[in-house]
Amino acid sequence: MLISCWIPDNVSISLCDIPPPGYKRFGTCLGNNTAIQEVFKRSHGQFAAMFKRSAYLHWYTAEGMDQMEFTEAESNLMDLVAEYQQYQDVAAMEDEEVAYEQAVGYGQEISYEQEYASEVPSEAFEGQSYAETETDQ
């Protein structure tokens, strides 16, 4: 498992032997990773659709909120998504570099197909030899 330098102490485990009332066993997992950005993107999509139509906006403005506060919150959310995406991209680059360095370090030759295999789905060449795919291009 690779641990990025920008997430120190990224694993924490706590155990409690007493389950909540009504349960024999109970488990909870909290994860701190970049996958949460998908939830934020989905929430933003729902918010944007409603905000565009000013749905329910009158309830909030009647209580003293300003429409600009919603725009600012949307901007903050998109900044958060961009930050998570940045960390995800860095981790992906680190993984690719480490895999390449390990392969080269162990004296393995890396062919063109292996190096770029992640960019082309394997189903695309199913049942074909490399020579057939070359002539088709």
CATH of domain 36-110: 1.10.287.600
7 has pLDDT over 80: no
What DSSP letter does each residue of the chain carry, written as one string?
----TTSTT-------S-PPTT-S--------STTHHHHHHHHHHHHHHHHHTTTTHHHHHHTT--HHHHHHHHHHHHHHHHHHHHHHHHHHHHHHHHHHHHHHHTT----HHHHTGGGS-GGGGTT--HHHHHHH-
pLDDT classification of 135: cutoffs 50, 70, 90:
very low
- How does pLDDT run across 27-79, given as a tens digit for each residue? 887 777 788 888 899 999 999 999 999 999 999 999 999 999 999 999 999 99
- Sketch the domain layout of the chain as residue ranges: 36-110
- Note if the pTM is more than 0.85: no
What's the mean pLDDT when you consider all of the chain?
A: 77
20 has pLDDT over 70: yes
1 has pLDDT over 90: no
13 has pLDDT over 60: yes
105 has pLDDT over 50: yes
109 has pLDDT over 70: no
pLDDT classification of 87: cutoffs 50, 70, 90:
confident
Q: What is the pLDDT of residue 6?
A: 58
